[in-house]
Structure 1
Amino acid sequence: MHALRRWWHDTAGGLPATFWYLWAGLLINRAGAFAMLFLSLYLTAARGASEALAGTVVGAYGAGGAAGVLLGGVLADRWGRRATLLAAHLVTAVLMVALAFSRPLLLIAVLSALVGVVHSMPSPAFVAAIVDVVPAQRRSRAFNLQFWAFNLGMAVASVLAGVLAEASFTALFLVDAAATLAAAAVIGWKVPETLRRSARQPTRPTKSRARTRGPGLHTALTDRTFLVFVGLTFVLAMLTLQTQTIMPLAMRADGLGPSAYGLVVALGGALIVLGQLFVPRLIDRHRKDVVLAASTALLAVGFGALAVADELAVYLGAAVVWTVGSMLAAPPNAQINADLAPPQLRARYQSVFYLTFPAAAFVAPTLGGVSLQYLGDRHWLIVGGLGLLAALGHLLAGPPRERHVAALRRVADREPTPSGDRVPAA
């Protein structure tokens, strides 16, 4: 019993109530956000769209997502985290109802692009709010629980979506809208505004911090230390997206059907749901750059092993390796992202960070498909080599990044509030 209590304390102890309401809102949001998973099937099976047109509409949803990430970051720093979350959830619910009863394909395409915008808006606000309320020493476990909730919600969404799609596509969109409203209700009822007033109006940067702080989104886009980290995260996203983009093609070439692919994906999801809560105790004693280097190396080895994969057992074994890498990477990746952001630009930094995922979602299949077609199994050796280079990059970038974070914290310690008090480092 003592060991169980100690494990629970190390995994989830010491986190404020506001975090848990944010966590609940995120879980409900992800568990109910399933309609767009079946958008292409809905368009072809229910609306008579061609595969090319369906792909274009899904692409519009993705393009909207890239815009929504940036918009969400700016609004979360200006309006506040709570206001941005509520606005995004409420508009999403309205759009989902509209999609349920829309018939013209052009209208569906426009609505899908708008849904892409509002679906992505909450991401920077969620993370910025977590950073606002969770002390720095406990953020690793908070981000670990956030990653776990996201994957658990997606697993539930996949199951519910399949059942609802068999019954009615209209019901699929309406239940999604209801779940979105439920998440909004939790946020509106229990989550206060977490953005400090002093963070809403940035003071003029001094000479010592002019390069790392500024009044707008351009600050994040010109912060070299942050952009190096974003670039390494982009490589991580490129690796993990192989499972959704290129691996199914490789498995088909090896004579393995959709059921085999589903088994590999399900194994990864099950490992995350069952094992993610044990990650904090495993990594908390180690430097974040070392953990990220090790996790990226595991991803590289896992995907590199597919160069010799021709049976399901090899794919399953490789999936265990790269999934463990993903699990280890999630907490320090999010924590470093939070540490690098000046408080008054916290959500803007999150929005730039989250752009790596739609960018990787475009680049991974575009280049990966060409690479697999012309290089065959050597594609996986290139993927593995890229991952190992990124692992080395984390080791090289880690020490100067930590010095940069320490400088930001010293500035935050000296930052006065309007009342004259000092703002503690976040």
Structure 2
Amino acid sequence: MPYAIRARRAVRETVSGLPREFWWLWTSTLVNRLGAFVATFMALYLTLDRGYSATYAGVVAALHGLGGVISSIGGGVLTDRLGRRPTLLIAQASTAVSVALLAFVRDPVAIAGVAFLVGMASNASRPAVQAMMADIVRPEDRVRAFSLNYWAINLGFAVSSMAAGFIAEVSYRAGFLIEAGMTMVCAVLVFLRLPESRPEQTAGTGEGGGTAGSSPGGPVSLGTVLRDGRFMGVVGLSFLVALIFQQGSVGLPVAMGAAGFSPAEYGLAIAVNGVLIVVLQIPVTRFIEHRDPRRLLVLSSVLAGYGFGLTAFAGSVWVIALTVCVWTLAEIVNAPTQTSLVVRLSPAHGRGRYQGMYTMSWSVAALVAPLLSGFVIDRFGAEWLWGACAVLGTVAGVGYGVLMRRLPQEKPAPAGPDVGVRPQPEVGAG
């Protein structure tokens, strides 16, 4: 009983103090991820249901990823120019329409083209979501907010993956239409419940003290972001870390298959990742929330690299599952800490572009990782891939340690649930 009381208190303290707008945004994220059918079953749809080759399925997946790379920057620019709310509306409505269209197109060229559009539309909302969270949540609560959002993403994806398997047995088209409907629900939530949160340009560089590449209150362009040396260094390190984490879905199944493990055994091992994130994200966040982000990023980078590196010595599915536990812990720490760091290094009126550039590092890693891991495994063997992960993790850890010296201090925002949100009475019910 005392444990249950402590658990309830921990949950209450974790979710308390965040603004109402955050929870509508969180709900939108959860609903969106609950309908994530395309990302999970695109390859099976093309090969099993439509009868296309694995090569064609790979091309379509690459085009889907390429669309995400392009829209990372485009979504960031729109987030700053049009505002967070219009960008979310456009991105989510476009995703719903393109996913619904994908359920009906049959020509292979048309399928590839629509998949590219789905990739663009679905990824365009990410900079807006992250920028809006930074706008409406107090600086001291941002790690907790980003962690809760990451938890919603993984919870929604875990549930949708299980449900999608049953839906696919009945009808792939039904799966696409369900995703389209749920994404449109997200768009409606945004329209009815979320006011615009974009700061006025005169607001300066934000709580973190600004960045090297921008002037207080001045305009922020993509050139400004690219000239911001420290931030682009963080983007580069983020790319290395993303390459490591991508191996859980691209390098690990290939290596396990080559070693004689069955798909079911891979499914068992990788399921540990989702379960641990859902179970541990909140308690781990309570532990790291007010700790030094530099140390957290150094630790999580090294832990990720060596977590995958240990896979070289794993001879059973249970030992592989233990290595998954190691790099999953790194993922739980890294994701909210790194997103919060991006906010800290970006000016308030340029958050969209900065978040877009950061999102692009993960999108590019998702494109590069399959090619890189396949080449290394075919040419040198899986052991070299896991060794490379350990090296990349070490490099990223050292890089974070160097780049984050003399990090600007955040100034706590005034207390109150509506920090950063400009009231707009014409938007739905409050």
TM-score, reference length from structure 2: 0.88
Aligned to 1:399: 405
- The Cα shift of 1:336 comes to 0.2
Alpha carbons 2:62, 2:367 under 8 Å: kept: no
Question: How far is the alpha carbon of 1:254 from its aligned partner?
Answer: 2.0
Work out whether residues 267 and 319 of structure 1, in 8 Å CA contact, stay in contact via their aligned partners in 2: yes
Out of 259, 264, 289, the residue aligned to residue 264 of structure 2 is 259
Shift of 1:211: 3.1
Higher mean Cα deviation, 210-219 or 364-373?
210-219
Say whether the 8 Å CA contact 1:72–1:121 is kept in structure 2.
Answer: yes
Q: How far did residue 406 of structure 1 move?
A: 5.9
Partner of 1:343 in structure 2?
Answer: 348
C-alpha distance after superposition, 1:256-303 (max 9, x if no partner) = 110111011101100000110112221124200101111112112211
Which residue is equivalent to 2:61?
58
Match for 2:233 among 204, 228, 252? 228
Structure 1 residue 92 displacement after superposition: 1.5
Q: Which amino acid aligns with 1:212?
A: S
The equivalent position to 2:360 in structure 1, one of 352, 355, 377, is: 355
- State the alpha-carbon separation in 2 of the partners of residues 210 and 317 from structure 1: 41
Partners of 1:99 and 1:362 in 2: CA distance: 21
Answer whether contact 1:10 1:280 (CA < 8 A) is retained.
no
Runs (4 or more) in structure 1 with deviation over 6 Å come to none
Q: Is the 8 A contact 1:296 1:329 kept in 2?
A: yes
* Mapped contact 2:72–2:356 kept (Cα < 8 A): yes
Q: 2:323 aligns with which of 318, 322, 328?
A: 318
1:290 aligns with 2:291: no
- In the other structure, the counterpart of 2:198 is 195
- Where in structure 2 are the equivalents of 1:122-201 lying within 5 Å? 122-198=125-201
Q: 1:107 to 1:199 in 2, by over 3 A?
A: farther
Moved more, 372-381 or 346-355: 372-381
Superposition deviation, residue 212 in structure 1? 2.4
Change (3 A) 1:112 1:379: closer
Q: Deviation string for 1:307-329 (max 9, x for gaps)?
A: 21121121011111111111111
Q: How far off is 1:9 after superposition? A: 4.5
Q: How far off its partner does 1:170 sit?
A: 1.3
Are 1:387 and 2:417 counterparts? no
Note closer, same or farther for the CA distance 1:384–1:80 as it changes in structure 2 (3 Å cut): same
Which stretch of structure 1 is more off in the superposition, 189-198 or 4-13?
4-13
Shift of 1:5: 5.4
1:208-223 equivalences in 2 (<5 Å): 211-213=213-215, 214-223=219-228
Q: What are structure 2's unaligned runs of at least 5 residues?
A: 414-430
String of CA shifts for 1:219-257, please: whole Å, max 9, x gaps.
112210101111111111011111111111221222111
TM-score, structure 1 as length reference: 0.89
User: Does the C-alpha gap of structure 1 residues 96 and 215 become closer, same or farther in structure 2, counting only changes over 3 Å?
Assistant: same
Report whether the alignment pairs 1:273 with 2:275: no
Tell me how far apart the structure 1 counterparts of residues 378 and 55 of structure 2 sit (CA, whole Å).
Answer: 21
- State the distance in 2 between where 1:387 and 1:265 align: 20
Q: Do the aligned partners of 2:76 and 2:127 also contact (CA within 8 Å) in 1?
A: yes
Q: Residue 371 in 1 paired to residue 373 in 2? A: no
CA contact (8 A) 1:254 1:311 kept: no
Answer whether contact 1:35 1:161 (CA < 8 A) is retained: no
Pick the aligned partner of 1:39 from 25, 28, 42: 42
Q: Out of 333, 336, 341, which is 1:331 matched to? A: 336
Q: Is 2:308–2:327's contact at 8 Å kept on the other side of the alignment?
A: yes
- The structural deviation recorded for 1:101 is 1.7
Match of 1:250 in 2: 255
- TM superposition shift of 1:363: 2.2
CA contact 2:37–2:161 (8 Å) conserved in 1:
yes
Query: Which deviations, in whole Å up to 9, do the C-alpha atoms of 1:155-204 show, x marking residues without a partner?
Result: 1121122111110111111111110111112111111111133369x89x
Shift of residue 37 of structure 1? Answer: 2.2
Q: How far apart in 2 are the matches of 1:265 and 1:159?
A: 13
Amino acid at match of 2:214: T
2:91 aligns with 88
Which structure has greater helix proportion? 1
Partners of 1:305 and 1:178 lie apart in 2 by: 42
Once the two structures are superposed, residues 53-75 of structure 1 have per-residue CA deviations (whole angstroms, 9 ceiling, x without a partner) of 22212211111111111111111
Q: Tell me how far apart the structure 2 counterparts of residues 370 and 210 of structure 1 sit (CA, whole Å).
A: 38
Distance 1:36 1:368 in 2: 20
RMSD: 2.1
Q: Secondary structure at the match of 1:336?
A: helix
Size of the aligned set, in residue pairs, is 401
Structure 1 counterpart of 2:294, one-letter code: D
Moved more, 302-311 or 23-32: 302-311
- Asked if the contact 1:245/1:365 (under 8 Å) is kept, the reply is yes
Q: Write out aligned runs for 1:302-317 (5 A).
A: 302-317=307-322
Residue 379 of structure 1: how far off its partner (Å): 2.7
Q: Distance in 1 between matches of 2:297 and 2:18?
A: 24
Q: Which amino acid aligns with 2:49?
A: A
The one-letter amino acid paired with 2:47 is T
Structure 2 counterpart SS, 1:272: helix
Helix, strand or coil: the match of 2:405?
Answer: helix
Q: Which runs of 5+ in 1 are unaligned?
A: 410-426
Contact residue 66 and residue 367 of structure 2 kept, 8 A: no
Code of the aligned partner of 1:271: L
In structure 1, what residue type is equivalent to 2:118?
V
Q: Percent identity?
A: 37
